[in-house]
A and B are shown apart, each in its own frame.
Chain A
Amino acid sequence: MFLFIVFAAIAVVAALGVILSRKPVYSALFLLLNFATLAAMYILLQAQFLAAVQIIVYAGAIVVLFLFVVMLIGGGELGPGDRETSRQGAALRSLVSLSNGLPKGDKETRKQGDAATSLASPHGSAAPRLRGSLALVLAVLLLAAVGYGLVTGHLFPVQGNAAAFGQGSVEAIGAALYTDYLLPFELTSVLLLVGMVGAVVLAKNEG
């Protein structure tokens, strides 16, 4: 339960970091942290193969793709045209103050909202450092929790009722995937082919 709480806290804070960061680069890196935490969750759920696939596909392919696009369209610095409109800014502020759980009066809400905006602002000099150190603390916490789980054996598969479950091993998943789910498995290859062709066509089409 202790490990679950640590992982859940890291996942939620990383998710909030994704949607509250001003620069898409930070969002992508928080997204990476979120995916890594979910991989640890899969191990807690005795789905080891899913954890490996989560790291390879999500953290290895999708986040890298996001980072490539962020780099290609200009380093991730939001221009003035990309600034949130005032309505969205107000919604964001009210949401942040709501999540702080203290919507007491308009003035206090606004004060908290301003604090939140200054936290989310790319111009404040302390804010990026604070967010970076937050991300560092979260990542170190994740590593420490995984190490703790490995040392104490909480992350190892339980032997009891998990035998019928196949422990989420590659063998059990492969047996199910190539017998009961053969047709969906083949159809996903068509889906991947269509996605690949679509991406190439969109990338090639100059006009």
Chain B
Amino acid sequence: MVPTSSYLILSAVLFCIGVVGVLIRRNVLIIFMSVEMMLNAVNLTFAALAKHFLQLNGQIFVLMAMVVAAAEVAVGLAIVMTVVRHKDTTNIEDVNLLKG
């Protein structure tokens, strides 16, 4: 029987790896992938706690998070494609239109 805390530790580790990926990479695609990894880590937390408390609410919430992630990826990748079409780069250092 695996204790719930080990699932929580694993999901924290995965979340931190995702945060580090967002911070150190400059390729917008890899930043997106890191965000997806963070979402997945949170989903793992929800599922582990659903098992811990023997309630299905956590699993329902994981489904909602998956829907949000799917919509986010669709819009985000469309934005990436538009940026690539306009500026021909995936480096976020070159995309600073809102920098004032």
Contacts and interface: CB of A to CB of B under 8 A. Distances in A.
A53 interface: yes
Given A19-B25, A195-B75, A205 B82 contact: yes
B67 A188 contact: yes
A31 B81 contact: no
Contacts of B33: 18, 24, 27-28, 31, 66
Contacts of A91: 23-24
Interface of B: 1-2, 6-7, 10, 13-14, 17-18, 20-21, 23-27, 29-30, 32-34, 36-37, 40, 43-44, 47-48, 50-51, 54-57, 59-60, 62-64, 66-75, 77-82, 84, 89-91, 93-94
Given A82-B89, A172-B56, A198-B75, A50 B63 contact: yes
Contacts, number: 190
B29 A66 contact: yes
B13 A195 contact: no
21 contacts: A4-B2, A4-B6, A12-B14, A21-B30, A27-B29, A34-B37, A45-B51, A46-B51, A47-B59, A58-B36, A65-B77, A66-B33, A78-B27, A82-B27, A85-B26, A173-B59, A173-B60, A176-B60, A184-B64, A194-B71, A196-B74
A129 B86 CA distance: 35
Contact of B26 (A61, A88, A203): A88
Contacts of A188: 64, 67-68
Given A95-B20, A191-B71, A69 B80 contact: yes
Interface of A: 1, 4, 8, 11-12, 15-16, 18-19, 21, 24, 27-28, 31, 34-35, 38, 41-42, 44-47, 49-50, 53-54, 57-58, 61-62, 65-66, 69-70, 72-73, 78, 81-82, 84-85, 88, 91-92, 95, 161, 164-166, 168, 172-173, 176-177, 180-181, 184, 188, 191-192, 194-196, 198-199, 202-203, 205
Nearest to B37: A15
B18 A15 contact: yes
B74 A50 contact: no
Nearest to B69: A62
